[in-house]
Chains A and B, each alone.
Chain A
Amino acid sequence: MMAYIFFALAGIALISGVLVVFQTHPLRSALWLIVNFFAVAGIYLLAHAEFIAAIQIIVYAGAIMVLFLFVIMLLNLRQPEEEAARPWFGQKLAGITLAALVAFILVYGFSKAEVPLAKAAPPGLGNTESIARLLFTDYLLPFEVTSVLLLVAIVGAVVLAKSKLK
């Protein structure tokens, strides 16, 4: 049962991912991306990562995508930029070939490897409490460092975007 759900979700994620890339209108791309996020959140749920699943939906599908949509609409990109977005045939061909090759190699690598099966998840894995525990013990430093990362990103955004220069 779980397996069927997994494959269904994975299928949705893949297809929507491909659709994101192939849309010519950015708005549609963004919408497909939301679908993709939901599918991935579902996979997280299957893996007992409830917290991540929730975050995925709230932060990515919710906040970030809304922001994306706002930006797209504000920029008023109603018409797809015809001459801009058209790759040459050679590029398409090379891209597809390479993507197929990489996919093949990855699958090949996995098929050769015998990944040790995950042990049955202990109760409570992936819930808020256990994540919090990890964040305040083993991953205390990375957790704090993330704040630096965010700060840098904010500063960067301000530098590039602020209207008036001294």
Chain B
Amino acid sequence: MTLTIPTFSLISIGPWLTLALGAILILLVDALSKGRKTYFPYFSLAVLALAAFQTIDLWGAQSTDFARMVYVDNFAFLFYLILILGAALTILLSRPYLEEWGKDMGEYYALILFATVGMMMMAASAHMIMIFLGLEVMSIAVYVLAGFFREDARSNEAALKYLVLGAFASAFLLFGMAFLYGAAGGSLYLDELAKRLTDAATLTKPLTLLAIALLVVGFGFKVAAVPFHMWTPDVYEGAPTSITAYMAVAVKAAAFAAFARVFFLAFPAFHVNWHMLLWVLAVATMTLGNVVAIAQTNIKRMLAYSSIAHAGYILVALVAANQLGAVSILYYLLAYTLMNIGAFGVVILVARKKDSYLNIYDYSGLAYQHPGLAAGMAVFMFALAGMPPTAGFVGKFYIFSAAVQAGYIWLAILGVMNSLVSVYYYLRITVLMYMRPAEADLGPIAFTPAVTACVIATAVATVLVGIFPGWFYDLAMNSVKIFPSL
């Protein structure tokens, strides 16, 4: 017998390989050498930088590789960059925080790199099985990271909940893929699905709809869309804060990458059906996230509900399903990565002593004791609330414009109303910081260089990306051209 192994180029998955090898190297060095290693964060950052360079080098390619298993295209690349950014910022936040808990271990960085590889797989998948594998690589790494503080009951609880429910949701995703395989007559290549489903549309419609519904469930869980959001507050609250930040931005970004790619590419023939479904989910997600966030007093929990709400906004862009919508997904995820990680950076700085200060009232009077930190937090809060001229505003503007362009006026209106509501709880933090005397002396805050740099960089970037969104818009526009149906 002969076996012709398909030709492939490792360069087209270069960024994955770099990160995976970097992670393995960390594990090996950690295992084989003695003593405390302080250089892992730097090494991880270097690896991420290398992956970013490789991605930039690949920019412009448009093909598939490994027997049509992965897309080598700008849509994937732009997501790579966002994911790398998210991972890098998370690593910047991590070190002092981990040390405080006595958990500054090599595995932490290795797992972040592995999770990023999984996310990249999701962004580049051309076949359902790759999406699933990417999702699992990412998820398993993140489950473990969520429970990384294993002496801490809350961290344990978070990991366990996330694991069990995540497995549950993955099962639905897998179920959906299986149905799709049947409905499409034995193919799970995304581009082929579109063709086959159009041809067979009438025959297997119920089955396809079933599959679509189950895929929505699977992806909806990962992006924390209502009603699959229940785990979010508990897990976000219990997980190490740096990992919460990472989950909120990167996991969400990766899930949306796959979500968008699958639905834009494979299901244009069924857009009437999934548009309306996602319409309802988007409204429910935005509304529940925002309204419930108002009542929260734990800052991580508040940011968890806020992250649910932001998933709702991005769903709006998904519903719009036009080029501007796709662009706005990318832009919003970039903006969200910057502003949310920044906010969590401040949370880490303020929390101290193994997360002793997580109540929002601990922020009272922050502006008078640590004006710079409060200013940074104010920027993030305003950005999250969508106030101009921050990136959060421009992102919302893109999203709602896309909805208006696509004719979903009411969706845009509901979205705007929601961001109106959201101002209330973001503003409350600012009010506490600037307009309330400190409950007690906050005491010194250890401004470690890496975390400080991360907070400053994200704050500046949040504003700059808001003032100069053009360059990223062009990149994003360039990258969403791959969707013929938009």
- On whether the beta carbons of B5 and A110 are closer than 8 Å, the reply is no
Q: Is B443 part of the binding interface, using a Cβ–Cβ cutoff of 8 Å?
A: no
Residue of B nearest to A112 (CB): B206
Other contacts beyond A113-B183, A160-B147: 7, CB < 8 A: A113-B203, A114-B204, A139-B67, A140-B6, A145-B133, A145-B134, A160-B159
- On whether the beta carbons of B5 and A136 are closer than 8 Å, the reply is yes
Q: Which residues of B contact A115 (CB under 8 A)?
A: 182-183, 204, 207
Residues 128-166 (chain A) with a chain B CB within 8 angstroms: 129, 132-133, 136-142, 145-146, 148-149, 151-153, 155-156, 158-160, 165-166
Residue of A nearest to B67 (CB): A138
Interface membership of chain A positions 49-67, coded 1 if the CB is closer than 8 angstroms to chain B and 0 otherwise: 0000000000000000000
Complex-state Cα separation, A137 to B183, whole angstroms: 24
Complex-state Cα separation, A140 to B133, whole angstroms: 13
Complex-state Cα separation, A112 to B103, whole angstroms: 55
- On whether the beta carbons of B140 and A152 are closer than 8 Å, the reply is yes
- On whether the beta carbons of A156 and B141 are closer than 8 Å, the reply is yes
Q: Is B75 part of the binding interface, using a Cβ–Cβ cutoff of 8 Å?
A: no
Q: Is B69 part of the binding interface, using a Cβ–Cβ cutoff of 8 Å?
A: yes
- On whether the beta carbons of B111 and A155 are closer than 8 Å, the reply is yes
Complex-state Cα separation, A110 to B141, whole angstroms: 36
> Pick the contact of A129 from B1, B8, B70, B110 — CB < 8 Å?
B1
- On whether the beta carbons of B3 and A113 are closer than 8 Å, the reply is no
Q: Which residues of A contact B140 (CB under 8 A)?
A: 149, 152-153, 156
Interface membership of chain A positions 104-122, coded 1 if the CB is closer than 8 angstroms to chain B and 0 otherwise: 0110111011111000000
Q: Which residues of A contact B3 (CB under 8 A)?
A: 132-133, 136-137
Category for how many chain B residues contact A: 35 or more
Binding site for A on B (CB under 8 A): 1, 3-6, 8, 13, 20, 24, 27, 36, 66-67, 69-70, 102-103, 105, 107, 110-111, 114, 117-118, 121, 127, 129-130, 133-134, 136-137, 140-141, 143-144, 147-148, 150, 159, 182-183, 185, 200, 203-210
Nearest chain B CB to A46 CB, angstrom units? 17
Q: Which residues of B contact A113 (CB under 8 A)?
A: 183, 203-208, 210
Nearest chain A CB to B119 CB, angstrom units? 12
- On whether the beta carbons of B129 and A139 are closer than 8 Å, the reply is yes
A138-B67, A139-B129, A145-B137 are contacts. A155–B144 as well, Cβ < 8 Å?
yes
> Pick the contact of A159 from B24, B66, B130, B148 — CB < 8 Å?
B148
Complex-state Cα separation, A153 to B111, whole angstroms: 10
Interface size, chain A (Cβ < 8 Å): 34
Residue of B nearest to A118 (CB): B186
> Pick the contact of B5 from A137, A149, A153, A165 — CB < 8 Å?
A137
Number of A-B contacts (CB under 8 A): 115
A113-B203, A145-B133 are contacts. A155–B36 as well, Cβ < 8 Å?
no
Q: Which residues of A contact B36 (CB under 8 A)?
A: 166
Nearest chain A CB to B285 CB, angstrom units? 21
Q: Which residues of B contact A166 (CB under 8 A)?
A: 36, 105
A109-B210, A159-B107 are contacts. A141–B203 as well, Cβ < 8 Å?
no
A137-B4, A156-B111 are contacts. A116–B200 as well, Cβ < 8 Å?
yes
For the complex of A and B, 6 pairs with smallest distance between CB atoms: A156-B144, A113-B207, A112-B206, A141-B66, A109-B210, A141-B69
Residue of A nearest to B105 (CB): A166
- On whether the beta carbons of A148 and B114 are closer than 8 Å, the reply is yes
Nearest chain A CB to B117 CB, angstrom units? 7
* Interface CB pairs A-B, < 8 A, 28: A108-B206, A110-B206, A112-B207, A113-B206, A115-B183, A116-B204, A137-B3, A138-B6, A138-B69, A139-B67, A140-B8, A140-B69, A141-B13, A141-B70, A141-B130, A142-B127, A142-B130, A145-B130, A145-B134, A148-B20, A149-B133, A152-B114, A152-B118, A152-B137, A155-B107, A155-B110, A159-B107, A159-B111
Q: Which residues of A contact B102 (CB under 8 A)?
A: 165
Query: Which of B127, B144, B200 neighbours the largest number of chain A CB atoms within 10 Å of its CB?
Result: B144
- On whether the beta carbons of A156 and B1 are closer than 8 Å, the reply is no
Complex-state Cα separation, A142 to B141, whole angstroms: 18
Nearest chain A CB to B123 CB, angstrom units? 14
Residue of A nearest to B204 (CB): A113
Q: Which residues of A contact B182 (CB under 8 A)?
A: 115
Interface membership of chain A positions 88-118, coded 1 if the CB is closer than 8 angstroms to chain B and 0 otherwise: 0000000000000000011011101111100
A113-B206, A146-B133, A165-B103 are contacts. A137–B110 as well, Cβ < 8 Å?
no
Q: Which residues of A contact B147 (CB under 8 A)?
A: 160
